[in-house]
Amino acid sequence: MFGQSGYQSLDPAANRSRRKRRLLAASMVLFGLIALGSLWHTAPQVTALLLKPDTCNPYALPGMLAYEPNDPHANRWHPFAGMRDETDPELRSDVKADACAQPAPALAAAFVRASWSAVPPSLPSNESALEPDFASAALGPDGRPWEDVEFARNRTVVFLGDSISRFTTKYFCDMVGERVIELNWQHPWAPAEILKDGSTREEPERDDAHLDPFGWHLLPPADPGSHLAHYCYAPGMDFLLIHLHAYGLDEEDFWKSKPSYIPPYTFEDRVHRLVRPYLNRIRATTGRGASAPELVYVNSGMWDVMRFAHEDIAADKSIASTLGSTRLAWYRRRVRDALTFVVREFPQAAVYWSASHYPIKASNGWFFGDIKPKHRPDIKLLRLAEMHGAAMSAFEDTADASPEDKAALDRVELGRWGLAMTGQEDHQIDDLHPTFLPGGYLWADMALWDLRHEVRRRGL
């Protein structure tokens, strides 16, 4: 289990073909153009249509996200190529769709089942996101044999993002039937040198009333809504998911005045001074493998686009216009900075840029608490589309990168969850955050798909 790692060394070299790069770059250009018009909701499908995936990846195929509020396991991605038009008079029963066009595999359900079979969930059934009966069925919830999820055992996944990815982390824990744990200043994994409000970290008194899944005594109780890091641990699979909240890619302390701000500030400092020490402490205190994490997601967009809006409002400028070349060039550079930094900080890990998903009708009043509600701006689709294109260009268009950065960026893959969620803004718990269905369930399925792909590709 946790103290008995059987990791092999990971190969840090993962070169991609230039043909794939050109196709992917072209697809993102088309995505941006479509996003500016009324066909934005089709963007994930058009993007995927131009891709010729290296492996049989249903999420890289054009398709639709099924939504079923009464059956969590039905909220999965369905490629169009696997659908049959029963009204077609010329439909041939002897022609079958490609195997890649089958609905995405039910990995999340199989993962939860495997975890529960080894260690019962700690949450009572009425607090779990899934009913326990599904796990005893002979077949998976998709009617197919249960997926083998041994690839996820004793693995670590890190997400460097914002409160949206913090919610998907929480939903993952809800599915497994465990509590999400805050890595507060009193947690034994917290770096001792980190400062909070000018004071050094103090060792807390121990309180047997507060234990995390590893048996650590925590005081005070964890706050799942803070801007500290959080983690979810599935004991039955010895699987660890760590989430670090970041304040965008800003370099000028724009958000430090927020009451909820928790140091350090820059993206790079938060990764180096928090995530790296967390992982070092985890290895030192639990014996977890030196190759952890196997997979790292990177995302930044929400805090960045909101900073631009703040600046424009203060200057009495329109927030509906293009961000302009200066801002987009800065954002592209900072995305590249973040990705190359993460690749070098975790040379053994697979690194994915996670495409952003933000509801286009939201007001996001939390970011504009000093502005009267009727004047709080919506997120502008134009700006989100521009930033998505700039982010893709940061690691796809590398002609202007140094040889060292080019080698690092060549290892970056695209996480497609945000693309698959486009148009799902009706399924939100508030202005910004997705509900468990379909977004939280889909994220679990897609993250496990990415992890399986990397484990198989690297022969772990």
CATH of the domain at 332: 3.40.50.1110
DSSP state, 411?
A: T
CA distance linking residue 422 with residue 443, whole number of Å? 13
| pLDDT tens digits along 250-287 | 999 999 988 888 888 999 999 999 999 999 999 888 87
Residue 355 lies in a domain: yes
CA distance linking residue 460 with residue 457, whole number of Å? 8
Q: What is the pLDDT of residue 93?
A: 73
Q: 117, 115, 107: which is closest to 73 by C-alpha?
A: 107
Q: What is the pLDDT of residue 49?
A: 31
Check if the beta carbon of residue 255 is closer than 8 Å to that of residue 205. no
Surface-to-core class of residue 340, CB atoms within 10 Å of its CB (0-12 exposed, 13-18 middle, 19+ buried): buried
pTM for this model (two decimals)? 0.83
Domain count for the chain:
1
Per-residue pLDDT of the chain in tens (460 residues, 90 and over written 9): 433 333 222 233 333 443 344 444 444 433 443 343 332 333 333 333 333 334 689 999 999 999 999 999 999 999 998 887 878 887 777 666 677 788 899 999 999 999 999 999 999 888 889 999 999 999 999 999 999 999 999 999 999 999 999 999 999 999 999 999 998 887 888 877 664 444 333 433 333 334 445 444 333 344 556 788 999 999 999 999 999 999 999 999 999 988 888 888 999 999 999 999 999 999 888 877 777 899 999 999 999 998 998 898 889 888 889 999 999 999 999 999 999 999 999 999 999 999 998 666 555 566 776 665 555 567 788 999 999 999 999 999 999 999 999 999 999 999 999 999 988 988 988 878 899 999 999 999 999 999 999 999 988 8
Under 8 Å CB-to-CB from 284, ≥6 apart: which residues? Answer: none
Q: 166, 180, 191: which is closest to 246 by C-alpha?
A: 166
CA distance linking residue 445 with residue 428, whole number of Å? 19
Residue 1 lies in a domain: no
- Packed helices 302-314 and 381-396: angle between N→C axes, nearest 10 degrees: 130
Q: What is the pLDDT of residue 325?
A: 98
Residue 118 lies in a domain: yes
Q: 403, 377, 236: which is closest to 312 by C-alpha?
A: 377
DSSP state, 133?
A: G
Residue range of the domain that includes 117: 18-84+98-458
Residue 10 lies in a domain: no
Q: What is the pLDDT of residue 400?
A: 98
Q: 266, 189, 183, 196: which is closest to 229 by C-alpha?
A: 183
Residue 215 lies in a domain: yes
Residue 2 lies in a domain: no
Token output for 164: 């949206």
Q: Provide the strand spans (E) within 279-385.
A: 295-298, 350-354
CA distance linking residue 63 with residue 94, whole number of Å? 23
Residue 92 lies in a domain: no
Residue 269 lies in a domain: yes
Q: What is the pLDDT of residue 409?
A: 98
